[in-house]
Amino acid sequence: MIEMTSNLNLSDVSPLSQETITDLESKLDHKIPKEYSNFLINYNGAKLKNKVIKDDLGYTNISELFDYQHLIKNLMNYYDDKNIQKLHMLPIASDVFGNLFCISMDEKRIGLIFFYDHETGCFSKLFNSFSEFINNFISDDTYKVKIMGEDMEFEKRLEELRKNSKFKLS
């Protein structure tokens, strides 16, 4: 079982049966990575408490973690995108800009989490597992502190530049 429940709101959970997962796998024509199928069986419908994720690309605000109903409803839309279909990716979440977070169902990359930029059609590997993905969410407060900290450093450097510069910066 994935140790990530502290990052999830479990009030709207509607667990799935193994038969439902098997049915989804037959629709996808691929096995769903075990860790993600266990998540759907136990926590389908769970909402994220923390919606900001820190990865190698920076900070991203996740708008939705997909449940089974969303996957079924949107499966054909996602698979119209040849990049997603060709690389055997299953979208599992989206950010506020409509980009996708996908889990690989490809035998060579099974379970890896990728960011899919819908404008460029490019994938970037982010995490080695679904639990690593879930465990990298941070609270809005933590995010604000980190951003403010980065801004404070910038402000300090800018102030130093103003003091030492021959040119007037306004």
pLDDT of res. 168: 47
Question: What does residue 93 show for φ and ψ, rounded to 5 degrees?
Answer: -165, 165
The residue ranges of every structural domain in the chain are 5-138, 139-170
Using left for φ > 0, alpha for ψ between -120 and 50, and beta otherwise, residue 111 falls in left
**Residue 18: per-residue pLDDT:** 96
What tokens appear for 45 in the block? Answer: 């419908």
The amino acid that residue 56 corresponds to is: D
CATH H superfamily, domain 5-138: SMI1/KNR4-like (3.40.1580.10)
Task: Specify which residues 11 forms β-bridges with.
Answer: none
The confidence score (pLDDT) of residue 61 equals 86
pLDDT (0 to 100) of residue 170: 45
Say how far apart CA 155 and CA 161 lie, in whole Å. 10
The model's pTM is: 0.79
Contact of 89 with 114, CB cutoff 8 Å = yes
Q: What is the pLDDT of residue 103?
A: 97
pLDDT per residue, tens digit, the chain (170 aa), is 445 667 777 777 888 999 999 999 999 999 999 999 999 999 998 888 878 888 877 888 888 899 999 998 888 787 777 778 788 999 999 998 999 999 999 999 999 999 999 899 899 999 999 999 998 888 777 766 666 565 556 566 656 666 665 544 44
User: What pLDDT does 100 receive?
Assistant: 94
Q: What is the model's pLDDT at position 165? A: 55
Residue 114 CA: distances (Å) to CA of 12, 56, 99, 102, 108: 26, 11, 11, 5, 14
Closest-CA residue to 21 (of 78, 101, 90, 79):
90
Q: Of all helices (H) and strands (E), which one includes residue 153?
A: helix 140-164
